């Protein structure tokens, strides 16, 4: 019952005026102790004079603390800045008392307010001690009350520099946190062995099972800013081997209002090990671009389409139309938006291959911006089903692009892939043909056509990361098709921010590509994911080489033969300078390809694709016969 009462009281904040009154009262108590110390702990001073001095000291304390605003701080969250405020306030108080004493001595040496300098200085020191000490005592009691019964999590902070100290302050300043810092780790040998806030700085090589048992360490928080991916992997590998949980402090740019909170400290993710800086795009023009617009997203239930829709909810659009044939996933995004209180959207089950249905949607909702993300994307499946790849990736794109011209859409943004560059498979070829068709429409009507090319998207449906996670959960092995296979990666958030940026940046006819840094070796990615899971490679989980799948490349490209780039205002975004097209011939060939029937032979369909895209050379595929 007492515990419940204390917790109920602990949830209420003390009035700032109560805090001010408390601080001023403490000053009166320290004033009495200053007298006691000055007179060797004997009540041999003039008590009547002391009583007369108290109101002046009290009023002076109120003025001092009001000037610095120390009473506005929440006592349970007292931190370094609050301590500085208290010290400044105490110094102002001492300065005023000295000034009053000096003036009264000049005017009347027999005045009751004729304080000895020793009392003022003793009083100042006692104020430092009592005011700061009491605040931290109250903070400690509050923390004890709210965390009573919680199991303490003992943590080490990796990095004994500025970021490490900020991390320490964030943890110690959060009264409700069950984290307790028991030490620091640092690579700098000059810091090792020294103490910070009475906590010892250790070397990483000192962290072993005996050390962990001694300090009862549960996890390590890596607080080093701009740490290299290789070094991060090395550290996490060693710590995971000791069965420790590892978390990481985000880059300082992501801190909320410049301050770090415990909630921002997250577990290390595979994105942290990609070896490149996260791509940040902030463009105020986007606000105007989507202001009061009706926006259509095809493939809105997919990884990219749904994230584009989520990003768009940050802007004040008039209406958002979400179209997808996958009704279950579309239902999920619909429920997600409903829970967020988003009302100006509509979810429509529809197939981009059905031009009559799509035309009805355009007529009914009259969109002005279209993001076309609907596509079949799985390379091995499409290699065996070229007609389906053609019908969605080419014909579906043609339908939406043609309707965009017909209905005078302002901008049509096409989501392409790096697999469209010098394609070696059916899926990549169909996406390249769709790029070409979109390019053929440049200048036809009012619509501006813009294309964006992505690398692989981390965590998207069917991507390698979820596959590896499932394989790790089932005990392995992880399957990699070739030991040297590499891929470019970006996060879903980065990919979709690029789409929105491209829509703003594009004037029509451009193909935007990303500077995605170095490509990542899939074999290394598999090893990293095993380590991140706290397992050992190859002792716990091994990697099996399965051989390249039909149509699969060892490495991907972002530019086709004959393409180079020109820069944009953002250093990470470039425009591919494509070679000139014979638009009439290309468009005629695409229309011929689009007219093939579902009963057509696969060789015939792929042969027509290769005629349109001469650089399409099949790899590890039955369609290699067409290249001979």
Task: Note whether 38 and 122 are within 8 A (CB).
Answer: yes
Query: How far is Cα 507 from Cα 450, in angstroms, rounded to an integer?
Result: 8
* Burial call 40-71: b when 16+ CB within 10 Å, e when fewer: eeeeeeeeeeeeebeeebbebbbebbeebebb
Query: How far is Cα 452 from Cα 445, in angstroms, rounded to an integer?
Result: 21
Query: How far is Cα 155 from Cα 24, in angstroms, rounded to an integer?
Result: 38
- Assigned token pair, 58: 């009290």
* Burial call 535-557: b when 16+ CB within 10 Å, e when fewer: bebeeebebeeeebbbbbbbebb
Pairing of the two strands 520-521 and 486-487: antiparallel
Query: How far is Cα 384 from Cα 106, in angstroms, rounded to an integer?
Result: 102
- Assigned token pair, 569: 């205002």
Query: How far is Cα 373 from Cα 307, in angstroms, rounded to an integer?
Result: 11
User: At 451, phi and psi to the nearest 5?
Assistant: -120, 140
Query: How far is Cα 566 from Cα 345, in angstroms, rounded to an integer?
Result: 37
Query: How far is Cα 140 from Cα 137, in angstroms, rounded to an integer?
Result: 5
Task: Note whether 419 and 558 are within 8 A (CB).
Answer: no
Task: Note whether 240 and 534 are within 8 A (CB).
Answer: yes
Pairing of the two strands 573-577 and 520-521: unpaired
Whose CA is closest to 306, among 281, 327, 340, 332?
332
Query: How far is Cα 521 from Cα 21, in angstroms, rounded to an integer?
Result: 64
Dihedral of CA 33/39/45/50: which sign?
Answer: negative
- Return the CA Rg of the chain: 34
Catalytic residues: 419
The secondary element (H helix, E strand) that includes residue 549 is: none
Helix-, strand-, coil-residue percentages of the chain, each rounded to 5: 50, 15, 35
- The conformation of residue 538, written as its DSSP 8-state character, comes to T
User: At 95, phi and psi to the nearest 5?
Assistant: -65, -40
Q: Residue 142: is the preceding peptide bond cis (ω within 30°)?
A: no
Query: How far is Cα 319 from Cα 309, in angstroms, rounded to an integer?
Result: 11
Query: How far is Cα 136 from Cα 142, in angstroms, rounded to an integer?
Result: 10
Length of the chain: 628
Q: Is 105 exposed, middle or buried (0-12, 13-18, 19+ CB in 10 A)?
A: middle
Whose CA is closest to 364, among 333, 324, 406, 321?
321
């Amino acid at each position: 019952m007492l515990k419940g009462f204390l917790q109920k009281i602990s949830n209420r904040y003390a009035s700032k005026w109560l805090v001010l009154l408390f601080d001023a009262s403490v000053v009166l108590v320290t004033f009495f102790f200053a007298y006691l110390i000055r007179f060797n702990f004997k009540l041999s001073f003039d008590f009547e004079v002391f009583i007369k001095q108290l109101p002046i000291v009290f009023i002076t304390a109120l003025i001092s603390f009001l000037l610095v605003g120390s009473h506005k701080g929440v006592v349970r969250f007292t931190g370094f800045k609050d301590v500085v405020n208290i010290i400044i306030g105490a110094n102002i108080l001492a300065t005023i008392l000295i000034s009053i004493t000096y003036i009264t001595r000049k005017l009347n040496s027999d005045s009751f307010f004729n304080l000895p300098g020793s009392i003022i200085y003793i009083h100042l020191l006692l104020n430092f001690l009592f005011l700061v000490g009491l605040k931290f005592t109250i903070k400690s009691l509050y923390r004890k009350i709210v965390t009573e019964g919680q199991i303490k999590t003992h943590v080490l902070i990796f990095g004994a520099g500025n970021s490490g100290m900020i991390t320490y302050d964030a943890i110690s300043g959060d009264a409700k946190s069950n984290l307790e810092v028991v030490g620091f780790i640092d690579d700098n040998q000059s810091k090792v062995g020294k103490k910070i806030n009475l906590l010892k700085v250790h070397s990483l090589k000192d962290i072993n099972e005996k050390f962990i048992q001694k300090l009862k360490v549960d996890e390590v928080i890596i607080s080093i800013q701009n740490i290299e991916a290789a070094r991060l992997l090395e550290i996490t590998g060693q710590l995971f081997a000791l069965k420790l949980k590892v978390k990481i402090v985000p880059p300082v740019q992501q801190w909320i209002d410049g301050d770090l909170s415990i909630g921002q400290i997250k577990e290390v993710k595979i994105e942290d090990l990609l070896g490149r800086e996260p791509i940040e795009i902030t463009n105020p023009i986007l606000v105007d671009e989507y202001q009061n617009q009706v926006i259509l997203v095809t493939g809105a239930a997919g990884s990219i389409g749904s994230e584009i829709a989520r990003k768009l909810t940050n802007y004040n659009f008039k209406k958002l139309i979400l179209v997808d044939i996958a009704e279950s996933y579309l239902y999920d995004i619909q429920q997600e938006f409903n829970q967020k209180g988003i009302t100006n959207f509509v979810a429509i089950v529809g197939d981009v291959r059905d031009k009559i249905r799509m035309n009805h949607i355009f007529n009914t909702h009259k969109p002005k911006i279209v993001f076309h993300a609907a596509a079949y994307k799985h390379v091995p499946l499409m290699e065996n089903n070229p007609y389906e790849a053609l019908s969605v990736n080419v014909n579906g794109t043609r339908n939406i692009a043609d309707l965009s011209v017909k209905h005078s859409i302002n901008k049509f943004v096409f989501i392409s892939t790096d697999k469209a560059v010098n394609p070696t498979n059916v899926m990549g070829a169909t996406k390249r043909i769709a790029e070409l068709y979109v390019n053929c429409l440049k200048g036809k009507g009012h619509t501006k056509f813009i294309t964006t090319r992505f690398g692989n998207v981390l965590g998207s449906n069917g991507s390698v990361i979820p596959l590896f996670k499932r394989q790790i959960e089932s005990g392995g092995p992880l399957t990699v098709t070739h030991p040297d296979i590499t891929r470019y990666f970006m996060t879903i958030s980065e990919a979709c921010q690029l789409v929105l940026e491209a829509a703003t940046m594009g004037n029509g006819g451009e193909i935007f590509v990303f500077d995605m840094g170095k490509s990542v070796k899939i074999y290394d990615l598999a090893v990293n994911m095993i380590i991140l899971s706290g397992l050992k490679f190859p002792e716990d989980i091994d990697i099996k080489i399965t051989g390249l799948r039909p149509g699969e490349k060892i490495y991907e490209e972002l530019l086709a033969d004959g393409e180079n780039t020109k820069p944009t205002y953002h250093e990470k975004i470039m425009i591919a300078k494509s070679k000139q097209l014979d638009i009439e011939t290309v468009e005629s060939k695409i229309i011929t390809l689009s007219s093939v029937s579902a009963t057509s032979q696969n060789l015939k369909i792929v042969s027509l694709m290769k005629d349109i895209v001469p650089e399409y050379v099949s790899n590890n595929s039955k369609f290699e016969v067409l290249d001979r």
